[in-house]
Structure 1
Amino acid sequence: MRILAVDTCSRSCSVAVTDSGKLAGEVTTLRPQTHSRHLMRMIDMALEMAGTTLDAVDAFGVTRGPGSFTGLRIGISTIKGLALAAGKPAVGVSSLQALALPLMCFDRLVCALLDAGKGEVYSASYRFARSAGLSETEGDSRWGTTGFSAEEKVLHPADVLADITAPCTFVGEGARAYASLITARLGEKARLAANEHHVIRGASVARLAFLRLKYDAGNDITGLVPRYLRKSDAELNLDAKRRTEPRNA
């Protein structure tokens, strides 16, 4: 199966093409411009690296969140458009799962953190299971023995750290932003992933998309929508306005 996968949920942007589970081409960048300015060019570059074309892609994958509201909309709308035009399946995967995936070789807790702004982070924690890859720290795994799942939350970093008592590796732009707080609270129990792991790779998105396509029937494109975890500023402003408006008698 040939998969084209995209991540646009944070400041980084990554596109990968995998063929039969092997990485064939990947482009990752950190640019100040909106991802809509370079995403299609990156898709063309990844396809060229892989020596293939859009017509030859069997399925599409994209991070569905949590993450930047604008970034998620760009990635998801692009992938849905390509998938609908090609008549091929498209699935969304967790951005936090994709972030944690490269650290599955560590026999310790992995906490994935994305900067959510407003002094908060998007967070999920995973524990490596020798026989099953990453597994959830709580709740039931949607992927059985083939993958992992964990409860995703948006919290103040201190609240995330309050729940962690075991040695833990932290990864993601949120981990880098709050590295001093993490070290101060957890001391030697905390480790920060290497710099190259703090961005989500398209290859990880492709792998998770492959697992979902293989083991889960849920690949309805119309159901592929962003997972925000919290309301947008526009929604919060509207709620505040409604609370202050006088009610009609």
Structure 2
Amino acid sequence: MTALLASVRSADEAFDAAQAGAELIDLKEPGAGALGGVNVDEIARIVGALRARYAVRPISATIGDSPNDALDEITTRVLDVAAAGVDYVKVGVNAGPGAVECLRHLAGLPAAVVPVLLSDEGVDRSLAALAVQLGFVGIVFDTAHKDGRTLFDCVDVTVLAECMAIMRRRGGMTALAGSLGWNDLERIRSLRPDIAGFRGALCDENAGRAGRLDPLRVTRWVNALHGERALTL
């Protein structure tokens, strides 16, 4: 069964998503980029409030968008976000120069880092294989540019499936994100990721990912991912 990760920007959205059935809560500021970071003090406040009501609900948070070679900045952000109490720290890694060094650096940090492999130009097989080899608890396949394309518009699904299978054999989690919507449901189901992540699809359609999260949309997506009939809005 695929679990739903809801990306939220505030405590109110976090509670709405959790009550609506989202299995994972992801703290992210969509107005600050694909992986825009929430203020660390706010992360700590939201985590504390969520833990009081949903003690075992996993929580992740992004560190913000950073280039691969900004290793000192990435380290500081990873450690600060981890110290705020989240279960997983998500870090975007762009394919190309510096990607290998960045992944190796992330693997050595004292935090539960989940690399987000930004796949706008397709899945980088070697980078995905390295992420598996380095022993991360999971990897996310996502897109950096929210330009109307979805993850499936950018990648070869066969290559994506092969990379996910390698991660599964090592016992790690796989997650898909990247402007996914109802038209992508059957492909998500066929690939069977452990997690599917959403922002825009959970918000009012007129506002997109910058809008307010709608709990009803969260519930409908949870039901669809769990194999129940998908009801569109």
TM-score by length of 2: 0.28
Structure with higher strand content: 1
State the TM-score, normalizing by the size of structure 1.
0.27
